[in-house]
Chains A and B, each alone.
Chain A
Amino acid sequence: MMRFAEKDTAITGVGMSEVSRGADKSALALTVDAALEAIADAGLSRADIDGIATWPGERADGSGFSPVGCAALQDALRLELGWYGGGGEAPGQYGAVFNAIGAIAAGLCRNVLIFRTMYEATARKTAYANSLLREGQRQAGPFAWYAPYYTYAAALQQALFFNLYVHKSGIRPDQVGQIAVNQRRNAALNPKAIYKVPITIDDYLASPVIATPLRLYDCDVPIDGAAAIIVSRMDVARTLKNPPIRIDAIGSSMRYRNSWTQLAELDTQAQPKVAEMMWSRTDLKPADVDIAQLYDGFSFHTINWLENFGFCERYGAKDFIDGGHRIALDGELPVNTGGGAMSGGRLHAYGAVHEACTQLWGRAGARQVQGDPQVCATSTSGGPLAGTMLLVRD
């Protein structure tokens, strides 16, 4: 049988900088904080790191979307690398992890430092209203088709897809709102979360509409911060400090048109084929998953993933999340246990993988899921992009 390369890799350490709505240090300093914490957490030193990866790579455009790239971090830490890679044309944010798996399989490196840094809170206080469009500049690339129509943020494309989903599924606003309520409840137990004051469904329903049916509380929160993980070759991982968290299976396919307008299934986005690929690479089933960190750039993404991972049937998420009990910390499938990006801060799926490891290592303190969780499904997404990882504590 084919040996899948991800099964020979594991997450061995995690780190996270201070996450805030306006940092008192630079984006590079935040990145160094997260990186050094992850290296120490794995029981390694800088000399052991022989690969680095990030997504989408440095964007020196002032938007804060990705202010730190591989070169800056390599030089700051004076790493001696066998391999490095950054870039945005990948299966979502976890593309950096998938590339690292390939590099480890190729024998190019053994311990890869993967990081994601955002500095959007500071950027939005200064020049940038959003990261997609700049006034007065003619647009090229995939978003040029949206540019003339006052489409200033990803929220608007997602609202188009979300509205179709609501139309087809019949999900009610008070059901959608359970995602926001659940995550805020979890965030209240997470010292690093941005928003810790619990909200009710009534608060959700009273929050401003951004673009129908998307409300303010459906959206993640721009922050300054950095997260880092160490992905190691499995034989190395088993010599290190923490029980390895095996990357049991990944989903990275692109089987639909890679387009924000012509995507085959607008209301499921790219998720179904990506999840299908992941499940084809493991013997585990949805019922084996103990906890889920499901991408929440918008609550719609999380709702979508519940269905596309197979935790419930198509258009069945409304019943699955109704009342919020199943997705709560003590429910059958605790979801976004640290507050997610909506309450914890927009670390763009790397906050989610940090939280996944924290839970699988039993370090989550007041928000620790009981019953010794061992299997976590985690995902990224947005329009035609998606990536998944099934993480299993060794």
Chain B
Amino acid sequence: MVARTLPAIDRDNEAYWTWGREGKLAIHRCASCEYFVHPPVPFCPHCESRDVAPQAVSGRGRVVTFTVNHKAWLPDLADPYILALVAIAEQDDVRIPCNIVECDIDKVDFNMKVEVVFEPVEDLWVPLFRPVTA
């Protein structure tokens, strides 16, 4: 498979792309009103607090929507793969783009329950999701 393209890391997104080292999915959250702010911004649009910082969430969520890619955009990208948007269990309007892994391409479905797994790539830990089996 082709190497994953990686994001440029800045102060706001660093926790998201590195806390996987500890097995944690980091989502920014407001300390005053508990709203999750994503993509990460150090400001809460609900209560205007600046006290917003990364917090580990359960890593569970649901598949909001998905697609199975069949086109080889690059050489060696031939295998079908699943691209999805996953809403975290804690707050349904926080949506995370990801690949669904450990899942037959015919089995992925809307609202499927999933959990995070991380794939280390260079100095980052890329969040992916797999079906919840238990």
- State which residues 23-57 of B face A: CB under 8 Å: 38-39
Q: Mark A114-152, 1 if CB is under 8 A from B, else 0.
A: 000000000000000110010111111000111111111
* Option from A135, A209, A262 in Cβ contact (under 8 Å) with B39: A262
Determine whether B114 belongs to the interface, using a CB cutoff of 8 Å to chain A: no
Tally of chain B residues near chain A (CB < 8 A)? 37
Main secondary structure of the interface of B (DSSP, over half): strand
Q: Mark B73-101, 1 if CB is under 8 A from A, else 0.
A: 11001000101110000000111111100
Contact B70 A149 (CB under 8 A): no
Determine whether A236 belongs to the interface, using a CB cutoff of 8 Å to chain B: no
CA distance A139 to B6 in the complex (A): 6
Determine whether A266 belongs to the interface, using a CB cutoff of 8 Å to chain B: yes
* Option from A135, A163, A262 in Cβ contact (under 8 Å) with B67: A163
Determine whether B126 belongs to the interface, using a CB cutoff of 8 Å to chain A: yes
Q: Mark A274-301, 1 if CB is under 8 A from B, else 0.
A: 0000000000000000000000000000
Determine whether B71 belongs to the interface, using a CB cutoff of 8 Å to chain A: yes
CA distance A139 to B7 in the complex (A): 5
Determine whether B68 belongs to the interface, using a CB cutoff of 8 Å to chain A: yes
* Residue from the set A136, A150, A152 with the largest chain B CB neighbour count within 10 Å: A150
* Option from A136, A208, A266 in Cβ contact (under 8 Å) with B65: A266
Task: Considering the complex, give the chain B residue whose CB is closest to the CB of A133.
Answer: B5
Contact A148 B67 (CB under 8 A): no
Determine whether A29 belongs to the interface, using a CB cutoff of 8 Å to chain B: no
Contact A129 B97 (CB under 8 A): no
Instruction: Tell me, rounded to whole Å, the shortest Cβ–Cβ distance linking A206 to chain B.
Output: 14
Contacts of A209 in B (CB 8 A): 70
Determine whether A159 belongs to the interface, using a CB cutoff of 8 Å to chain B: yes
Contact A156 B67 (CB under 8 A): yes
- State which residues 1-32 of B face A: CB under 8 Å: 2-10, 13
Contacts of B68 in A (CB 8 A): 211-212
- State which residues 331-369 of A face B: CB under 8 Å: none
Contact B83 A150 (CB under 8 A): yes
Determine whether B132 belongs to the interface, using a CB cutoff of 8 Å to chain A: no
Contact B121 A160 (CB under 8 A): no
CA distance A130 to B94 in the complex (A): 28
Known: A138-B7, A149-B98. A214 touches B67 (CB 8 A): yes
Determine whether A167 belongs to the interface, using a CB cutoff of 8 Å to chain B: yes
Instruction: Tell me, rounded to whole Å, the shortest Cβ–Cβ distance linking A255 to chain B.
Output: 14
Instruction: Tell me, rounded to whole Å, the shortest Cβ–Cβ distance linking B14 to chain A.
Output: 13
List 22 interface pairs A-B (beta carbons < 8 Å), by A numbering: A135-B3, A137-B5, A146-B83, A146-B97, A147-B5, A148-B7, A148-B126, A149-B97, A149-B99, A150-B73, A150-B81, A150-B83, A159-B69, A160-B85, A162-B67, A164-B65, A167-B110, A261-B85, A262-B38, A262-B94, A262-B95, A266-B85
Known: A138-B5, A145-B97, A259-B39. 18 other contacts (CB 8 A): A129-B73, A135-B74, A139-B6, A139-B8, A140-B7, A140-B10, A148-B4, A148-B121, A148-B126, A150-B2, A156-B69, A159-B67, A160-B67, A161-B65, A164-B110, A210-B71, A214-B67, A261-B95
Mark A residues whose CB is within 8 Å of B.
129-130, 133, 135-140, 144-153, 155-156, 159-164, 167, 208-214, 259, 261-262, 266
Mark B residues whose CB is within 8 Å of A.
2-10, 13, 38-39, 64-71, 73-74, 77, 81, 83-85, 93-99, 110, 121, 126
What are the nearest 8 A-B pairs in CB distance?
A: A159-B67, A152-B73, A144-B7, A164-B65, A140-B8, A138-B8, A147-B5, A211-B67
